[in-house]
């Protein structure tokens, strides 16, 4: 059963699978197009880094915005073929460099929309061949049906979940996994010798308010924000609090 009342996918079969599992695999683009995007990434970031690096956290705001545009240009139009009137929110390269520091533990993403009415979707697509050793994405099927809201001061941890109990997503170049932001996901270390380059893009229904939820004292406040809010790094609570001053509180949720 879906918690979302409004469809995410135009295709009924995809919608059914997305509603019950919280994710679905699609053929998004030609492999060559994904390789070109990987090359564009390498031109922008021509050096080795450590861990799993999200370009939206880049301190160089010019380069961060260039990275976002590169991914957006490739993914947004192709996603619109599958999605039922969704709009772009943000996008990022996600690059997992070889080594243990690249482990991403099980988590859910921020709550971007009112989940009672809508589903926010992330389109995660590999840009290099993603073998098991390179660190594939894993998901917990059906978890979008029970995970709570998530936002700044409300980071949810799922440390008790073993990767072995999750589903490993095997994708060919050109394919993407579309997951509900409430679906628990994770990825292991890249044990290969080369960086695993991927891209992630978040979209929400055209008519939905874009939310950011934040705990303040005993209350969970719902802010109505815009794409600009999510295009800025906001993992540091003080920065997030400062950024949120510009936006209206449109409701609250009992904690
Ligand atoms: O790319 C990965 O391995 C993890 C991505 C992820 O967890 C996210 O974008 O929230």
**Tell me: the pLDDT tens digits for 134-159?**
999 999 999 999 999 999 888 888 99
CA nearest ligand 1 atom 3, residue: 187
Q: Ligand 1 pocket, 169 CB below 6 A?
A: no
pTM, rounded to two decimals:
0.95
pLDDT in tens, 32-51: 999 999 999 999 999 999 99
Residues in the chain: 255
In a domain, 43, yes or no: yes
In a domain, 186, yes or no: yes
In a domain, 53, yes or no: yes
Q: Token pair of 87, please?
A: 């709009």
* Predicted pLDDT of residue 152: 85
3-state secondary structure at position 140: coil
- pLDDT, the chain, mean: 95
Least confident of 1-10, 89-98, 204-213, 221-230: 1-10
CA of 65 to the centre of ligand 1 (A): 19
Q: Ligand 1 pocket, 198 CB below 6 A?
A: yes
pLDDT mean over 149-177: 94
Domain count of the fold of the chain: 1
Least confident of 17-21, 32-36, 104-108, 151-155: 151-155
CA nearest ligand 1 atom 9, residue: 200
In a domain, 130, yes or no: yes
Q: Token pair of 54, please?
A: 């999200």
In a domain, 227, yes or no: no
Q: Ligand 1 pocket, 139 CB below 6 A?
A: no
pLDDT mean over 202-223: 95
Q: Ligand 1 pocket, 53 CB below 6 A?
A: no
Q: Ligand 1 pocket, 214 CB below 6 A?
A: no
pLDDT mean over 71-93: 97
In terms of DSSP H, where are the helices of the chain? 12-21, 31-44, 61-82, 227-231, 237-244
In a domain, 82, yes or no: yes
In a domain, 224, yes or no: no
Instruction: Give the span between the Cα atoms of 26 and 180, in whole angstroms.
Output: 14
In a domain, 35, yes or no: yes
* Predicted pLDDT of residue 2: 46
Q: Token pair of 90, please?
A: 């943000």
CA of 47 to the centre of ligand 1 (A): 21
Residue 185 CA: nearest ligand 1 atom is 7
Range of the domain at 112: 12-212
pLDDT mean over 122-138: 97
Q: Token pair of 88, please?
A: 């772009």
Cα atoms in the 13 Å half-sphere on the side-chain side of 121: 36
pLDDT at 1 over 80: no
CA of 222 to the centre of ligand 1 (A): 24
The enclosing domain of 200 has a CATH number of: 2.60.120.620
Q: Ligand 1 pocket, 83 CB below 6 A?
A: no
* Predicted pLDDT of residue 238: 85
66: left (phi over 0), alpha (psi -120 to 50) or beta: alpha
**Residue with the two structure tokens 């893009």:** 201
Instruction: Give the span between the Cα atoms of 179 and 120, in whole angstroms.
Output: 8
Instruction: Give the span between the Cα atoms of 255 and 220, in whole angstroms.
Output: 6
């Amino acid at each position: 059963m879906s918690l979302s009342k409004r469809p995410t996918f135009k295709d009924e079969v995809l919608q059914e699978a997305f509603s019950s599992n919280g994710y679905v695999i699609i053929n998004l683009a030609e492999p060559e197009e994904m390789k070109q995007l990987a090359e564009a990434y390498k031109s922008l970031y021509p050096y080795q880094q450590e861990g799993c690096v999200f370009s939206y956290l880049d301190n160089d705001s010019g380069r961060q915005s260039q990275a976002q545009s590169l991914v957006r240009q490739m993914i947004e139009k192709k996603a619109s073929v599958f999605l039922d009137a969704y709009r772009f929110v943000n996008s990022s390269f996600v690059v997992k460099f070889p080594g243990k520091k690249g482990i991403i533990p099980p988590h859910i993403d921020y709550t971007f929309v009112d989940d009672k009415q809508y589903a926010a979707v992330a389109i995660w697509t590999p840009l290099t061949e993603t073998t098991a050793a390179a660190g594939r994405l894993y998901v917990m099927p059906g978890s979008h049906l029970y995970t709570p809201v998530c936002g700044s001061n409300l980071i949810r941890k799922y440390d008790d979940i073993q990767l072995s109990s999750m589903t490993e997503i095997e994708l060919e170049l050109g394919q993407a996994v579309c997951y509900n932001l409430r679906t628990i996901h994770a990825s292991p270390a890249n044990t290969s010798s080369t960086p695993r380059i991927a891209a992630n893009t978040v979209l929400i229904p055209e008519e939905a308010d874009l939310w950011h939820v934040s705990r303040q004292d005993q209350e969970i406040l719902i802010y109505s924000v815009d794409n600009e809010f999510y295009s800025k790094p906001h993992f540091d609570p003080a920065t997030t609090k400062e950024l949120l001053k510009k936006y209206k509180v449109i409701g609250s949720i009992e904690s």
